[in-house]
Structure 1
């Protein structure tokens, strides 16, 4: 008579990272509301955690991309994956801009405010406008090329790291067998780096606690009252985009957007707490690989998407730009609105998924469209931080979806493994801290 195998012991609820982060967010909000001064003083906890994660982003991207490309049998696959990814980014980003434009015209959240642009505090947004003015297409392209190969790993630029990693991975593939020891070393170092990420993720609740306490303490929930309509419209529009647009894309490719959100719940709460999608980048790469996506595809699509596939930022730009125009009593014809959309399509590319980038990109867009005053950004400066969380969450979900879609197009995804991960069937890895499944 055979003895049934013992079921794996379920981890207690408090041991899950997403529960710890959720509790930290609630506690941070309470501290920031009750003791605003204490909340502001806790900012270093959030900033420190984000810096810790950024410290390992470059090695994670470099090693993932290098080992992924070197493992591809044909170099043509690299260009094919990149072309498909950029095609997806252009189409979905444009849809996000159109959704923001449509909702702004239907809801008109700024109508009836009758704000005189001359009464606005232009100095409040002067710094953002200056940063936007300094950016250009040529400057952006030149910024992708690092000073040296090593500086790409120390500059903090995702695109520079990705650029060097792609070149290095192609070189390894061309050299072939003599470069095999280098590839083996990279794969071993990657195990160590992901274990380091797992260690850092244990500090996520502390970082989320400090970041939320600072946001609520400094800006206060009261700042939402005056512009609550804009914030509510933006959140509802983003939810609509995720569930309808991304949901339809996911359904067409054989997976559920709701199950993907549930699978990434710990990372999404981390993004919510820190208001930065970069904070969960290493964990996203690891989880997508564990869900059956090819390492090379994930390594190319996710880091590139962090600069070129910012769905939340795109929704925010058209919605916020039309809100400012409506609040200032400026009527924009459909021709001017589509011109605004075209400018936003260009200015949104290259914006990093970090706090404040969406605001700078909006300044860049308005500086090129003279019909809407840049000074009007002062209207939304007080609530921009609260919209930053939603931008980051939407960007994060959009990039996770993009990676799975491109992997499906390339037929480089284990669909059974994906289904098991999204259904919670592989709880031994899905619930483990990031990196553990890659090592154990």
Structure 2
């Protein structure tokens, strides 16, 4: 029993359960305002927002604190990895191979979403008048204002990634680079020590996130769009347990054992609907599992911008869902156009606030055959589907790192056997 109470997984799972109960039976408590207006904090090139309601306050506080660790951990991990690796050709090779892997796997995810949506057709029979919409103006305006330059300037993770690679390459040519490693390693250890302390509050964040979701939207809001939700969840399960399973099987690694190894992080992502909430922990666990520091430092941060498998599936299925709802027939040429547009627009999803809707709005605007106003239908269930998106993105980046580490010979199999 004492061992159970010391298990973070137990506490996160309990917090999620309590959050559901509070949101369902006492929504007025979960949505009680404790701040007059949101508090915005700028730190490490990023802006964090502390929400006003009781439940959102708890969740946003936890996520914001974890986000503070993301940039320093990425910066130090990449620098240490590149300096320790020494071979700059290998660094470039890993980076290029990562981008190729991301494009291939996200394209597979995109095609799976389109095929399943065309077979099950979740939008058929949906009566739009039965579903309460919402204000989509902020999403369409953001979509119109979206640019790749803005994406790069707003994406702190990419900026830190580029800076760390530059400095890593610079110091790797330094004659006494071991002194740089000796200086950075203790700092890295202290940062991860502090992160472990913060992660003890993960149940608080998971409780707040789940309580808000249930209180705000309620389980009853799922019924009109239940078919879409079930289809999206099933499609993402197919992607994880078929596509990602075979990717790991190429190197004789068991996907289920890996999922069990990162179960605490998966529950945190589920409770907070944010894959960023567990990003630093994922990087640490991948290193402990046997992936080299350099591969982890390059692949995970880049993956959070360019390897969004769950988001890609959601976007492709949502576009076809809205086409089916409004009885818009898409011919082969239009479907291929949608695939091409989504292959580009989905890459910008991580760097934009309200990313799913903004990228979806920009895609619909580009296709010009599906009413953009249809986004209002998805507002009620987007929060529930964001959990599936975040978990799929999270697992996908973990699998990508393991695969690339094995492919580059930067994986310690004996260490993996001990950990798993």
| TM-score, reference length from structure 1 | 0.87
Alignment of 1:5-404 (within 5 A): 12-40=3-31, 41-113=54-126, 115=128, 124-141=135-152, 143=154, 157-177=156-176, 179-352=177-350, 356-404=354-402
Give yes or no for contact 1:29–1:213 (8 Å, CA) kept in 2. Answer: yes
Deviations 1:343-390 (A, max 9, x none): 001001132289832222212211211011211111111100000000
- Cα shift at 1:139: 3.6
Q: Give the whole-Å Cα distance in 2 for the aligned partners of 1:394 and 1:353.
A: 18
Q: Give the whole-Å Cα distance in 2 for the aligned partners of 1:249 and 1:347.
A: 25
Q: Which moved more, 1:107-116 or 1:39-48?
A: 107-116
- Cα shift at 1:123: 6.8
Runs of 4+ in structure 1 over 6 Å off:
119-123
Q: Give the whole-Å Cα distance in 1 for the aligned partners of 2:132 and 2:18.
A: 34
Structure 2 segments unaligned to the other structure (5+ residues): 32-53
Distance of aligned partners of 1:360 and 1:167 in 2 relative to their CA distance in 1, 3 Å threshold:
same
Deviations 1:134-182 (A, max 9, x none): 11234434556xxxxxxxxxxxx111111111111111102231x4333
- Cα shift at 1:193: 0.2
Q: Give the whole-Å Cα distance in 1 for the aligned partners of 2:393 and 2:158.
A: 17
Q: Give the whole-Å Cα distance in 2 for the aligned partners of 1:66 and 1:173.
A: 9
Q: Give the whole-Å Cα distance in 2 for the aligned partners of 1:79 and 1:102.
A: 35
- Cα shift at 1:51: 0.4
Q: Give the whole-Å Cα distance in 1 for the aligned partners of 2:250 and 2:28.
A: 49
| TM-score, reference length from structure 2 | 0.91
Give yes or no for contact 1:101–1:318 (8 Å, CA) kept in 2. Answer: yes
Deviations 1:4-27 (A, max 9, x none): xxxxxx971121111110000001
- Cα shift at 1:122: 8.5
Give yes or no for contact 2:78–2:293 (8 Å, CA) kept in 1. Answer: yes
Q: Give the whole-Å Cα distance in 2 for the aligned partners of 1:358 and 1:293.
A: 31
Over aligned residues, Cα RMSD in angstroms?
1.9
Q: Give the whole-Å Cα distance in 2 for the aligned partners of 1:234 and 1:162.
A: 32
